[in-house]
Chains A and B, each alone.
Chain A
Amino acid sequence: MTIARLVLWRLLQAVPVLLLVAALAFALEMVAGDPVTASLGPDATAAQRAAAVAQLGLDDPLPLRYLRFVGAALRGDLGVSTRLARPVGGLIAERLPATVELAGVAFVLSLAIGIGGGAYAAVRRRARSTRLLLLASLFGVSLPTFLTGTLLILIFAATLRVLPSFGRGEVVALGGWTTGLLTGSGWAALVLPALTLAAFQSALLLRLVRDGMIVALDSEFVRFARARGLSHGVVLRHALANALTPVVAAAAVQLGTLVAFSVVTETVFQWPGLGQLLVESVATADEPVIAAYLMLVALLFVAINLAADLLCLAIDPRLRVAPAGGA
């Protein structure tokens, strides 16, 4: 099966990438971190320190320590936060839901706006409303995220006072996960940060979809479809499918960046997610957390790209030929 082979191949390709990122994370901990001081405190005696070094294996050769680091990470042992003195894995698990929900809602929102708006702008190429839409999308791609966020807070939270400007609202615990999607205040809290995140992404998608859709609508197969009497709606659907294939890869990268780099938005809205955790950890030089964050982001990108590849395969039969075929 070519699909199974592709998945296997992609996973194999991901291994060196992940190992490299792990090496970076390891180097970061090694260069910047001081696990001895972290575990014993600054006023330990030289003898105590030497004993700790031996016990932690810090005088072992580097490759061995690296392997030990990777092995521990694979078992889910990501070390202990120097700032909070808690296991990093637990810290991340605690913050992950907030970021995933924010990024997920923002992603769905930007897909809806990007695809809907892009298709509209292509079909109604010369309408006044289209020009307005494109102008708005220009703002979307050019305004920096912190400015969009601040503006939204200024309008909806400070002036109109209809939406909260910080926090997640009330959350409900579901097993190990906390969700804000089941409460009114949770949704209300989501609106502004999700809009802020989606502003840039949806504007970018809108332009991509519009360009692709214009090409598709002008293509021969659409002309032929119309010539043999397929209805407007059917033709639009097929044109959109063709316009979207190249958008999938772009959207995947965007989803990755939404999760990984929501740092700014989370800071502006004091959103208790991974981005905020990262900012706090960088500020206090909490190397184990930063290292774990790095590896998590790398893993996320690998997973999302794999999903995007599979989606492209499902949509476009031309990609399903065996890679060696060269067709």
Chain B
Amino acid sequence: MTLLAVEDLVIEVPGGRAVDGASFTIEPGEVLGVIGESGAGKSLTGAAVIGLLPAGARMSAGRILLDGERIDDLHEEDWEDLRGKRISAMFQDPATALDPLRCIGAQLNETLNAHHPMIEKVRRERVGDWLDAVGLPRERMRAYPHELSGGMRQRLALALALCPAPELLVADEPTTALDAPLRVQVAALMRRLAGRQRTAVLLISHDLHTVAAAADRVAVMYAGRIVESGPAEAVLRAPAHPYTAALLAGLPGVGPRRARLPAIPGAMPLPGTRPDGCAFHPRCARVAPRCRREAPTLAPGTAACFYPLTAQAAHG
């Protein structure tokens, strides 16, 4: 049964709709990579799934279902029961994600205890196990966050987010703040640890290497909508949507060496300025008259495009 279903999600910010009818699903244990340029609405989507939309953003339509039950209309107290245990999250900046005043062992200990009360001795053992799992020596249990490198901190954050054994982890740009060589390593670690306990992951990233290293499936987001989705390997190798293709054109080995998403001529529309027809048409090399009039829709396993690059059935 589908673990997470996001249906026609609309999130409004003061300028207008930042997420404008996004739909996607995640199966138990699956890693879904969400890619797209800055401002596409990826973070807001992730925040809505964990119930932590920032002040100024409001979910105004759509549904979010976990195991078939709506979670988008929960009260904060109910969210408290859900978070950690069933849905957990980690974010971009390892420098600020940890409590600077407490040692890392205490933070792990506290998180474990919040969800799975156990006797002190067992818990201490588990704290050590988690440190081992993310490649931090057990002896560093008493280290403080400022004594760790950025990579170590982000691996610790991964342990903190995963240790309650949630069904779903929302990871918003977990590798973006790291140096390029570390990104794939942390992404692979995330995939391994999540897979070990069958935690599904909503992996949001700018970085195509990260997504390639960790995702089973990929969804491409543009101007608040999913414009293409399918198996990671197929989408990354043979994109159907011209936007996806343009994103991938910058991957090393194919185009110029850049780890981040390449610049595509023009800019993504800001919330509230979505053009008529296909939102990508002003920047699209394959634009045709129909694209200016009519908005294409996304059928499962395809691209929201009238003139896809590969056959519609390619991603099956």
Binding site for B on A (CB under 8 A): 219-221, 223-232, 234, 238, 241-242, 245, 315-318, 327
Contact = CB atoms under 8 A, between A and B. Distances in A.
Interface stretch (B83-91, B213-221, B284-292, B300-308): B83-91
Determine which residue in A223, A224, A234 has the highest number of CB atoms from chain B within 10 A of its CB, and name it.
A224
B115 A229 contact: yes
5 contacts: A220-B97, A226-B52, A227-B88, A229-B88, A317-B101
B114 interface: yes
B8 interface: no
B84 A224 contact: no
Contacts of B82: 229
A229 B86 CA distance: 9
A269 to B, nearest CB: 40
B48 interface: no
Interface of B: 50, 52, 76, 80, 82-85, 88-91, 93, 96-103, 110-111, 114-115, 144, 146, 157, 160-161, 164, 170
Contacts of A315: 101
Nearest to A245: B101
A242 B100 contact: yes
Contacts of B157: 224
A220 B172 CA distance: 13
Given A230-B114, A231-B114, A317 B100 contact: yes
Contacts of B83: 226-229
Contacts of A224: 89-91, 97-98, 157, 160-161
B63 to A, nearest CB: 21
A75 B144 CA distance: 45
Determine which residue in A232, A315, A317 has the highest number of CB atoms from chain B within 10 A of its CB, and name it.
A317
A227 B115 CA distance: 13
A238 to B, nearest CB: 5
B100 A234 contact: no
A144 B88 CA distance: 51
B98 to A, nearest CB: 6
B91 A230 contact: no
Contact of B110 (A221, A230, A241): A230
B27 to A, nearest CB: 22
A228 B160 contact: yes
Contact of A318 (B50, B52, B146): B146
Given A227-B50, A238-B101, A232 B80 contact: yes
A189 to B, nearest CB: 40
Given A224-B160, A228-B161, A231-B114, 17 more contacts: A220-B96, A221-B97, A221-B100, A224-B91, A226-B52, A226-B83, A227-B90, A227-B91, A229-B84, A229-B88, A230-B111, A231-B80, A238-B101, A245-B101, A316-B101, A317-B100, A317-B146
Nearest to A221: B99
Contacts of B91: 220, 223-224, 227
Contact of B100 (A227, A229, A232, A316): A316
A318 B147 CA distance: 9
Enumerate the 5 nearest inter-chain pairs by beta-carbon distance, A residue then B residue, closest first. A229-B84, A227-B89, A229-B83, A220-B96, A317-B144
Contacts of A238: 99, 101-102
Contact of B101 (A227, A228, A242): A242
Contacts of A221: 96-100
Contacts of A225: 99
A234 B113 CA distance: 12
A226 B99 CA distance: 12
Contacts of B88: 227-229
Nearest to B95: A220
A199 B161 CA distance: 44
B190 to A, nearest CB: 15
B84 A220 contact: no
Contacts of B164: 228-229
A223 B82 CA distance: 15
B101 A229 contact: no
Contacts of A232: 76, 80
A225 B108 CA distance: 11
B99 A242 contact: yes
Given A220-B93, A229-B164, A238-B99, A318 B144 contact: yes
Contacts of B144: 317-318
Contacts of B170: 227
B117 to A, nearest CB: 13
A142 B101 CA distance: 34
B177 to A, nearest CB: 11
A138 B76 CA distance: 32
Contacts of B89: 224, 227-228
Nearest to A318: B146
Contacts of B115: 229
A318 B100 contact: yes
Nearest to A125: B55
B82 to A, nearest CB: 8
A315 B83 CA distance: 29
